[in-house]
Amino acid sequence: MAPKRKTVVISDSDEDAPNQSTSQQKKPKPSASSATTSNFSYRDYLKRSGPENLGSRSIPQGTPGCLSGLTLVFTGEFDNIGRDAAVEAAKRYGAKVTAAPSGRTSYVVLGREPGPKKLQMVKDKNLKTLNEDEFCELIANSKPSEDPTYLNKVKKEEAKIKKDAEEMEAIEQERKSKAKVSAKAPTSNDRSSQSQLWTVKYAPTQLKDICGNKGQVEKISNWLKNWKSQFQLGFPADNSKNDIKGKRALLVHGAPGVGKTTAAHLAAKVAGFSPLELNASDVRSKKLIETTTNIDNTSIDSFFGDKADSKNVNHSTCLIFDECDGMSAGDRGGIGAMNALIKKTMIPIICICNDKSNTKMKPFQSTCGDIVFKRPEVGQVRSRIMSILHKEKMKVDSSVVDQLITGSQSDIRQVINMISTWKLLSSSMTYDEGKDLVQENQKYTIQTPWTIMSNLFSPYMFGPNNNTPLGSKADYYFQDHSLIPLFVQENYVKCNPVRARGSDGARGEFERMKLASKAAEAISDGDLVDSSIHGSQQQWGLMPLHAMNSTVRPASIMYGGFKGGYGRDTISFPMWLGQFSKTNKYIRALSEIQAKMRLKVSGERDEIRQFYYPTLWPRLFSPLTDTSPALDEVISLLDNYLLSKDDFDTMAELGVGDLALDKTIKAIPTKNKSAFTRAYNSRDHPVAFSRGQAIKSSASQAKDEVPDHEDVLDMEDDNVGDVKDDDENDKDDDVALDKLVRQPKKPSTANTKAPKRGSAAASRAKGKK
């Protein structure tokens, strides 16, 4: 006979810290007291090592529903089967998973290094415990529960599901009858109802149909019912912190798919208002909001053909401003216009958004009452989904439904869309099929590099019990393809690989070094691929190959967790970025120094760094370390090579070894540095410059120009051109012929025309003659 079922809690909470070493085969010691709990820290939890012998034992195949009626709690690390696999197996066979032990807990399954708080609760409540092997035996030997209490509970749930399905059927029949009365072609209406989306078909029609957030829905309903009376009183302010009675509008925010818009519509109808929705499909710019709603609500009822006086408070419109945080460029100024409307509104307004912390939502935070919608619990959504499945005649176990709800993060719309799509293929769904469906429809979120590294190198990612597709593992690379490979290169040597745990001491370290060498080779192959991607060829189609070589393959070799745990203290930010920036800085500085010194020396940039600098170092820095520094010698040496004081400081940073910064400029006493700076600033210094080239005045002169090098000319060609002789060169040196020199004006001659002022007098004199 199967053991009596209670509740088994499986927890992934941070309380499972390795502060106390407890064997799998023994019960927890009573010494796990509050003193141990008080010493617990989150850093200790992060330093917990992964499973030692993952995959050495497989989970047995059990009878479907063999753990039904149980609630299990898992704490600690499972070295043979892994904790994630144990949790999944418990859910697969119908066990209930909770966060912490309680009086209803059936068994607490203990692994290595269990959480001290859970051990204390086990002692206080005298709960039954299982180790890893006993848990596997429980799956292999148990059968579906025959406990009358559990069976009665199941019957009540089935009756409720059947009742809800009948109500849905009655509502659907009522809709069809209304459609047939209003339409002349009932056949077309039947077809439209069959092709209707399930999210519309099974949308809640009553407030009680909304899953979760019952208190928040009630707040919205009460606020709408009291709105008119508050308007008559002028919305008196209340000193209470969470008061929404004195607000003309509400700001409802929460995760997508939890029923915010549905609750607003149903609450408005229950309170006697006609909802008018403005969502992202409408243009909500400042101009349209001001003209459509007329800022004083003088024309908003025109949408419904209401010819009543809009100044009358008795009009029954409720404006629902949905997806406020989705305002785009076409809605420019809409937030400000809506906020101005809220301050003067004569009708209730409900603004809905996903993220209240968005900067776009700041104007609403002071004018609107705050209503927060949280994700409903799995049990609250399960009943609704099971009713839909019963009505659609689909055979899906409750454990599969729980998996769909958990995978979609309690997004009811996504769960309904998934089962409606699956209904096109099959009328039943197994646990594995549900798992694959969740994987295909999972919500992709941007993760931090530290989270990605923790997942990639965890003991479970590449273990024998892991069924994650290779493409899903490569998706970690595409979270940030330029940064994640650098994180892998920086931190792979810090891992404690599973493949090297079979040996201890020097042998284990040798195995670890061999694995690190293979990972380094994979990263090197990734660098070769990256040179083709970001090089002149720009072969971006090689990115999946780069993802494998730079990220997935090194993680598959070194997986097993980090030695210091998981977190920012252990997983380091790539130092390559800082070193690369410093390298570019030094290259630019050295190029500038070489450009100045090339007037005196013939070395390239690397030769300046490798040969000239070690030679100049004793004469630049050593004289300044003496008690009486030779300032003039150092300054003269800098002037001789056309170097400045800034170049002197830069050269101090370029040294390594015996020429490092600590042994050069930091070894100079402070008073000597000050004296050197004053002496250098008190005199003039030569500056390197480049003389410009003369610009030819015409193209004809370029034809007469002879090349500078004799080897350019053909030796057999005697008639190279008209070469300027010495006389022509002398003419070129004549200042009088230079166009840039201003010549004095020539004196006027007899043939010069007379000025216009004297022309009239000259003509009169000529006439007298």
**Which of 321, 349, 373 is at the close of a domain?**
373
**Band (186; pLDDT cuts 50, 70, 90):** very low
For residue range 599-658, list pLDDT tens digits in order: 888 888 888 888 888 888 888 888 888 888 888 888 999 999 888 888 888 888 887 777
What one-character DSSP code corresponds to residue 4? P
Contact yes or no for 40/116 (Cβ under 8 A): yes
Range(s) of the domain holding residue 66? 34-146
Sequence-ordered list of residues with C-beta below 8 angstroms from that of 87, at least 6 positions apart, any chain: 10, 12, 74, 97
Contact yes or no for 554/522 (Cβ under 8 A): yes
**Band (35; pLDDT cuts 50, 70, 90):** very low
Q: Are residues 53 and 136 located together in one domain of the fold?
A: yes
pLDDT at 114: 84
Residue 4 domain-assigned (yes or no): no
Residue 330 domain-assigned (yes or no): yes
pLDDT at 359: 81
Contact yes or no for 63/2 (Cβ under 8 A): no
Q: Is 522 exposed, middle or buried (0-12, 13-18, 19+ CB in 10 A)?
A: buried
pLDDT at 152: 83
pLDDT at 7: 39
Asked which of 8-22, 230-244, 633-647, 695-709 is least confident by mean pLDDT, the reply is 8-22
For residue range 504-529, list pLDDT tens digits in order: 778 888 989 999 999 999 999 999 99
CATH of the domain at 516: 1.20.272.10
pLDDT at 746: 62
pLDDT at 431: 87
Write down the mean pLDDT value for the chain. 77
Q: With 60 as the cut, is the pLDDT of residue 39 above it? A: no
Q: With 90 as the cut, is the pLDDT of residue 546 above it? A: yes
Q: With 50 as the cut, is the pLDDT of residue 303 above it? A: no
Q: Are residues 624 and 563 located together in one domain of the fold?
A: no
Q: What average pLDDT does the segment 226-255 reach?
A: 82
pTM of the model: 0.60
CATH of the domain at 124: 3.40.50.10190
Q: Are residues 569 and 584 located together in one domain of the fold?
A: no
Dig out the tokens for 229 from the structure. Answer: 């009376």
Q: How far is it, in rounded angstroms, from Cα 639 to Cα 652? A: 17
Work out the angle between the directed axes of helices 378-391 and 398-407 (0-180°, nearest 10): 120
Q: With 90 as the cut, is the pLDDT of residue 554 above it? A: yes
CA distances from 601 to 44, 613, 615, 654, 689 (A): 60, 12, 13, 19, 15
Q: How far is it, in rounded angstroms, from Cα 416 to Cα 4? A: 35
pLDDT at 44: 54
- Single-letter amino acid code for the residue at 521: E
pLDDT at 197: 85
Q: Are residues 552 and 634 located together in one domain of the fold?
A: no
Which one has a higher pLDDT value, 724 or 349?
349
Side-chain half-sphere exposure of 355, counting CA atoms within 13 A: 7
Q: If you search the block for the tokens 């190279």, which residue do you land on?
A: 720
CA angle, 584 as apex, 582 and 590 as ends, to 5°? 100
Q: How far is it, in rounded angstroms, from Cα 687 to Cα 67? A: 87
What one-character DSSP code corresponds to residue 747? P
**What is the rounded end-to-end Cα distance, in angstroms, of the chain?**
157
Q: Are strands 107-110 and 428-429 parallel, antiparallel or unpaired?
A: unpaired
Dig out the tokens for 472 from the structure. Answer: 């899903």
Residue 700 domain-assigned (yes or no): no
Q: Are residues 511 and 584 located together in one domain of the fold?
A: no
CATH of the domain at 282: 3.40.50.300
Contact yes or no for 264/220 (Cβ under 8 A): yes
Q: With 70 as the cut, is the pLDDT of residue 696 above it? A: no
Q: What average pLDDT does the segment 143-156 reach?
A: 81
Dig out the tokens for 745 from the structure. Answer: 């004006």
Q: Are residues 350 and 245 located together in one domain of the fold?
A: yes
Q: How many helices (H) and strands (E) does the chain have?
A: 33, 11
Which one has a higher pLDDT value, 745 or 369?
369
**Which of 344, 373, 402 is at the close of a domain?**
373
Closest CA to 251 of 142, 348, 369: 369
Asked which of 90-94, 431-435, 445-449 is least confident by mean pLDDT, the reply is 445-449
Q: With 60 as the cut, is the pLDDT of residue 109 above it? A: yes
For every residue of 253-264, DSSP letters joined together read EESTTSSHHHHH
Q: With 90 as the cut, is the pLDDT of residue 550 above it? A: yes
Q: Are residues 363 and 454 located together in one domain of the fold?
A: no
CA angle, 640 as apex, 637 and 645 as ends, to 5°? 60
CA distances from 35 to 31, 44, 117, 292 (A): 9, 15, 11, 66
**Band (40; pLDDT cuts 50, 70, 90):** very low
For every residue of 520-586, DSSP letters joined together read HHHHHHHHHHHHHHHSSS--GGGHHHHHIIIIIHHHHHH-S-BTT-SSTTTSPPPHHHHHHHHHHHH
Q: Are residues 568 and 588 located together in one domain of the fold?
A: no
Which one has a higher pLDDT value, 298 or 230?
230
3 state DSSP class of 77: strand
For residue range 555-593, list pLDDT tens digits in order: 999 988 887 665 566 888 999 988 888 889 889 988 888
Q: How far is it, in rounded angstroms, from Cα 501 to Cα 54? A: 11
Asked which of 40-49, 78-87, 614-623 is least confident by mean pLDDT, the reply is 40-49
Q: Are residues 582 and 560 located together in one domain of the fold?
A: no
Q: With 70 as the cut, is the pLDDT of residue 366 above it? A: yes
Q: How far is it, in rounded angstroms, from Cα 351 to Cα 6? A: 45
Q: With 80 as the cut, is the pLDDT of residue 693 above it? A: no
Q: With 70 as the cut, is the pLDDT of residue 720 above it? A: no
Q: Are residues 98 and 59 located together in one domain of the fold?
A: yes
Residue 288 domain-assigned (yes or no): yes
Closest CA to 94 of 19, 49, 154, 177: 154
Contact yes or no for 12/87 (Cβ under 8 A): yes
Residue 529 domain-assigned (yes or no): yes
3 state DSSP class of 705: coil
Residue 310 CB neighbour total at 10 angstroms: 19
CA distances from 344 to 201, 234, 351 (A): 37, 11, 15
Q: Are residues 535 and 641 located together in one domain of the fold?
A: no
Q: If you search the block for the tokens 């404690």, which residue do you land on?
A: 496
**Band (706; pLDDT cuts 50, 70, 90):** low
Residue 597 domain-assigned (yes or no): yes
Residue 482 domain-assigned (yes or no): yes
Q: How far is it, in rounded angstroms, from Cα 100 to Cα 108? A: 9
Residue 184 CB neighbour total at 10 angstroms: 7
pLDDT at 264: 92
What one-character DSSP code corresponds to residue 447? -
Contact yes or no for 133/26 (Cβ under 8 A): no
Dig out the tokens for 572 from the structure. Answer: 């380091």
Asked which of 124-128, 191-195, 706-710, 713-717 is least confident by mean pLDDT, the reply is 713-717
Asked which of 150-159, 602-611, 716-725, 732-741 is least confident by mean pLDDT, the reply is 716-725
pLDDT at 204: 87
pLDDT at 565: 62
Contact yes or no for 367/339 (Cβ under 8 A): yes
Q: How far is it, in rounded angstroms, from Cα 373 to Cα 250? A: 13
Q: Which residues of 362-389 are buried (b: 16+ CB within 10 A; e: fewer)?
A: ebbeebbbbbebebbebebbbebbbbbb
**Band (705; pLDDT cuts 50, 70, 90):** low
Domains of the chain: total: 4
Q: What percent of the chain has pLDDT over 90?
A: 14
Residue 55 domain-assigned (yes or no): yes
CA distances from 44 to 14, 113, 436, 498, 563 (A): 10, 11, 34, 20, 12
**Which of 146, 177, 194 is at the close of a domain?**
146
pLDDT at 283: 57
Q: What percent of the chain has pLDDT over 70?
A: 72
Q: Are residues 221 and 360 located together in one domain of the fold?
A: yes
Closest CA to 71 of 85, 90, 89: 90
Contact yes or no for 365/250 (Cβ under 8 A): no
Q: With 80 as the cut, is the pLDDT of residue 211 above it? A: yes
Q: With 50 as the cut, is the pLDDT of residue 496 above it? A: yes
Closest CA to 191 of 211, 176, 208: 176
pLDDT at 612: 86
Q: If you search the block for the tokens 């099974």, which residue do you land on?
A: 202
